[in-house]
Chains A and B, each alone.
Chain A
Amino acid sequence: MNNLDKPVIEVKDLSIGYGSRVVMQNLNFSVKNGEIFIILGGSGCGKSTLLKHLIGLYPPFKGDILIHGESIVHAENGRKREIMRSFGVTYQGGALFGSLTVGENISLLLEEYTEMSKDEINKTVTEKLRLVNLDGFQDYMPAELSGGMKKRAGLARAMALNPRLLFFDEPSAGLDPISSAELDRLILNLRKEFGTTMVIVTHELDSIFSIADRVIMLDKEKKGITAEGDPRDLLNNSNNKWVKDFLSRLSLKRD
């Protein structure tokens, strides 16, 4: 039980950026097991940057990131790769491997990391593609898919090894409202069935209230977190005008 209460991700005193430019500093937050955690903020404020540091792609200037209690910042290369393998990531543009078909993109992971037979692999690929509504697209090349389809195929790939932790960079940007709502349902389903923890960067205000357990809002000027908590609480009780505006634009649109 103790293990379940322990946060999946702990961020301690994190400062990140590029070259000598600081994008965010002194971030502290944690993501609990089974939580749907959303990172919000204006365009260009550093959401993708934060996500890329969380998944260990770039070394931070300062601070530490613990995934299941283990530092991904200080892990040596081989161990770091193992930690990275334990979670799934979907990228803003899908990031499918262009030289492989959609099916091969997904089966690559299964071939490398599992002992599955060819049949089992094919079955899993079909199943994952069905989850994201792409049945029958195994043999397409990524270049033959639309932007939204690439994203969904990327999600199928991220789920290939049934990770307990998923990161999404703007999963619903570029999807039509119906696919976007379906994606939200898929995210909620994953959590219900597998208890998957999810960290999501999104602009899509619509999704926030329907799926988020907790949000953090990043501020470009402050280079840090301006608000943290349940989105409904923030909307009703926050005394920060910017936070209220950001969240209420959705409510206005909805009413």
Chain B
Amino acid sequence: MSRQRAPQLIEHVGEASIRIGRDCVNMLSFVGELSAGIMEAVKHPRKIRWKETLYYMDMCGSDALPIVMLICFLMGLILGFQAAVQMHKFGTDIFVADLVGLSIIKELGPLMVAMIATGRAGSAFAAEIGTMKVSEEIDAMETMGFVPCRFLIIPKVIAMLLAIPILTIFGDIAGIFGGFVVGSLKLEIPAIAYYNRTVVALTSANFLFGLIKSFVFAFLIAGVGCMRGFEARTDAQGVGRAATSAVVSAIFLVVVADALLTILFSMVGQ
């Protein structure tokens, strides 16, 4: 039994490594192709499919606004409550404004919006492209001489790059408002005091870094969603698996990117 298991283990580890390695190579070549596509789009903006781009902006942006506002508001509220208990012990109630404001703007705003976008848009992109593959639409597109990247990926990536940062700004505002509610109702900080403290705490650099993060997240989510769609196997389960895998990979990539960016920002002194 155990003699058999040992080689099996090695085999499994080997196979998994090969698979992960191949996945990384695929991802790199996809990023290359995507970058070339984006360069091409920037050079010839008239060739961008604006109709599709607007459609996806609507889908990833305006349709997601209510849920983003709600979740970010609740995040601000929760943070506020947790902080209020601790801060109150030291008589530093007013610093709840700093904690909530900075956490939301630098970290939780972009991250929460990215998670929502992953669940909504990332999986939808993968499923859409996967289904098109099953129904031979991608084949048709290629034989019609169209570059699938231009029709299917670029509009989605542009839409996400435009919509996600805007969503993040709305999320930031909702989150800060959540903290404000705790501050005024539980800690009874005067509204103007909370406001002033927040304005002092939040620098435009912090705000900018949050936005840069959300740009990067948007790119990752859209890119990996499309990539998983193209990799989908052409059977009924393939599409579902592509969507699941898009969500898992996107969450993973977003968190890794978040860690790297946070380290980077802290090195430049924020």
Contact = CB atoms under 8 A, between A and B. Distances in A.
B50 interface: no
A45 to B, nearest CB: 19
Report the contact-size class of chain B (Cβ under 8 Å from the partner).
Answer: 10 to 19
Query: Which one of A87, A99, A154 has the highest number of Cβ atoms from chain B below 10 Å of its Cβ?
Result: A99
A136 interface: no
A84 B144 contact: yes
Contact of B146 (A87, A92, A93, A112): A112
Interface size class of A (residues with CB under 8 A): 20 to 34
Contacts of A81: 142, 145, 147
Contacts of A92: 136
A97 interface: yes
A95 B145 contact: no
Given A84-B145, A91-B136, 11 more contacts: A57-B139, A85-B145, A89-B143, A91-B139, A95-B137, A95-B140, A96-B140, A97-B132, A98-B132, A108-B144, A113-B145
Interface of B: 52, 55, 131-132, 135-137, 139-147
A99 to B, nearest CB: 7
A154 B144 CA distance: 12
A118 to B, nearest CB: 15
Contacts of B147: 81
Interface string A177-198: 0000000000000000000000
Nearest to A91: B136
A50 to B, nearest CB: 14
A96 B144 CA distance: 12
B135 A84 contact: no
Contacts of A89: 140, 143
Contacts of B141: 97
Contacts of B144: 84-85, 108-109
A55 B143 contact: yes
B143 A57 contact: yes
Nearest to A169: B136
A52 interface: yes
A57 to B, nearest CB: 5
Contact of A98 (B52, B135, B143, B146): B135
B142 A93 contact: no
21 contacts: A55-B143, A57-B143, A82-B145, A84-B142, A84-B144, A84-B145, A85-B145, A89-B140, A89-B143, A91-B140, A93-B135, A93-B136, A95-B135, A96-B140, A98-B131, A98-B135, A99-B55, A108-B144, A109-B144, A112-B146, A113-B145
Nearest to B151: A97
Interface centre among B52, B131, B135, B142 (most CB of A within 10 A): B135
A56 interface: yes
A70 to B, nearest CB: 15
Interface in A35-87: 52, 55-57, 81-82, 84-85, 87
A92 B136 CA distance: 8
A113 B145 CA distance: 10
Contacts of B135: 93, 95, 98
Contact of A96 (B55, B137, B139): B137
Interface in A83-134: 84-85, 87, 89, 91-93, 95-99, 108-109, 112-113
Contacts of B132: 97-98
A81 to B, nearest CB: 4
Nearest to B146: A112
A98 B137 CA distance: 8
A39 to B, nearest CB: 17
A84 B143 contact: yes
B52 A95 contact: no
B113 to A, nearest CB: 25
Contacts of A85: 144-145
